[in-house]
Amino acid sequence: METEQEAPGSMRIIELRVQNIMRCVAVSVRPDGALIQITGKNKAGKSSYLDSMLFALSGKRHRPPAPLREGAEVGEVFIDLGTDLGSKYLVTWRCYLNGKEELFVTSPEGAKYGSPQKLLSSFLGDLTFDPIAFSEMGAAAQIKVLKQLGGLDFTDMDLRAIAVYDRRTLTNGKAKDLEAQVVAITEYPDAPDQEVSISELLNQQAIAMEKKSANDFLRTEAETAVAAVALSESQYSRHVEDANHSEKTHKAEIDRLRDELRRQEELLSNLVSSNAEAGLGCQSEVNGLSDEADELAKKVEGLVDPDIDAIAEKIEGAEETNIQVRCNQTRDTLRFKLQEARDASIASSAVLVAIKEDKKRQIAQANLPVEGLGFDDDHVILNGLPFSQASTSEQLSTSVAIGAALNPKLGVMRIKNGSLLDSDSLAEMEKQAEKMKVQIWVEKVTDGEDIGIVIEDGRRRE
């Protein structure tokens, strides 16, 4: 009868027995302690033995195409999983020459569990985690492990950050181009805000010229009036002279012709009267012309001609002024766009900072297994420094703690290249494993020295 039960917490391997798997002929180990060293020469079967636990527990995705040892008909891996209180699960995996495979999970009492792989998967963590490999892998791979451990998925945030970063890069490029354009355009601080209207200046010029023509006409009339006054005065003077001459002539005639005295006196009297009237008429005409000339002179004195030359100069300089105005207007437009680009860049930077701070908050709340452990986009951080700068002891203890956290239900880890560890490092790792209540299986190449569990030609040295 098959029964189901919950997976226990913090299990370890009580026994690992392997027969006819790859180079391993027959090896059985019941670990004593938290650190188990599997040693021997190259190709002795060490890797085959340790790989077998993965073959049995992790399913087909970790099994090679031909796990059976050459020449054997059946291979078997037996794993006793339990705690300090005793066995909990007995796992048996077999492979046959015909390619068939079998997996059984039973209780110590013999009860068989249905869906054995599903059961094993429910309490398996990452059996492939290697503390040494973790300390030597690149920062990106280490960060990936910590994200998995902390249940952190920054995919959407990273995609958003990339989009914002790319947008900021484009914006900064645009700002740089705009800044170059602003610098390239000469600024004219004395130029007016608006362009000068050449048509308006031409209109002003036409009005000014018309006014000057009227002024010139009035001046001509004044000059004509003055000339008329002078002519009338000249004519009056000649008339007076002619009258005086005529009077003298008639007086002489009276003296010569006394006999005609009366007649001549009458003529004289009439002539004097006529001359007096003529003289009065001429004087009156002269006075009238003089008054008219004075009036015109007063008007001429008040005339002010418009500055036509100044208007002409404005017209000549209008296009240059307008070029300066257009330069200033273009410069102002570019400055406005430049400020917009700078503001957009600042806003993008603020978004990137907010994303970074949100990541930091989530990382801080992720409850990673070692105090002071964290990461940013580029580095794993331990106590404020990059993990790579930590001491070997700190790196090893941290790596073991990470491995324990990745395997909370089955505290088993494996180190493939244990030859890199000296005695001090092994002691530190064992101490940390005992503290974390986990097992660390260490594969180490030796020349056959009696260190740990020695494997020779696929068998355990007794």
Which pLDDT score, from 0 to 100, does residue 448 have?
Answer: 78
Say whether both 98 and 244 belong to one domain. no
Q: Is 274 a domain residue?
A: yes
Q: Which residues of 77-95 are buried (b: 16+ CB within 10 A; e: fewer)?
A: bbbbbbeeeeebbbbbbbb
In a shared domain, residues 180 and 325: yes
What tokens appear for 229 in the block? 């006054």
324 and 176 part of one domain: yes
- Name the token pair of 270: 């009439």
Query: Residue 120: its pLDDT value, please?
Result: 92
Whether residue 385 lies inside any domain: the answer is no
Residues 47 and 109 in one domain: yes
Are 160 and 262 in a shared domain?
Answer: no
In a domain, 244, yes or no: yes
Q: Are residues 297 and 215 in the same domain?
A: yes
| Same domain, residue pair 56 and 90 | yes
Residue 16 belongs to a domain: yes
396 assigned to some structural domain: no
Residue 314 lies in a domain: no
Regions of the chain with pLDDT less than 50: 1-9
328 and 293 fall within a common domain:
no
> What does the pLDDT read at residue 95?
97
The answer to whether residues 25 and 102 belong to one domain is yes
**Number of domains forming the structure of the chain:** 3
Same domain as 264, residue 212: yes
- Give residue 61's pLDDT: 83
The region that residue 30 occupies, defined by phi over 0 for left and psi between -120 and 50 for alpha, beta otherwise, is beta
Buried b (16+ CB within 10 A) or exposed e, 33-72: ebbbbbbbeeebbbbbbbbbbbbbbbbeeebeeebbbeee
Residue 332 lies in a domain: yes
378 in any annotated domain? no
Question: Between vectors from CA 453 to CA 448 and to CA 458, what angle results, nearest 5°?
Answer: 70
**Distance of alpha carbon 166 from alpha carbon 168, whole angstroms:** 5
CB-CB neighbours of 341 under 10 Å: 20
Which of 442, 451, 447 lies closest to 44, judged by CA?
447
202 shares a domain with 180: no
Looking at 262, 281, 306, the residue that finishes a domain is 306
228 and 80 assigned to the same domain: no
List the CATH number of the domain containing 19: 3.40.50.300
Range of the domain at 422: 12-129+407-460
Residue 261: predicted pLDDT:
64
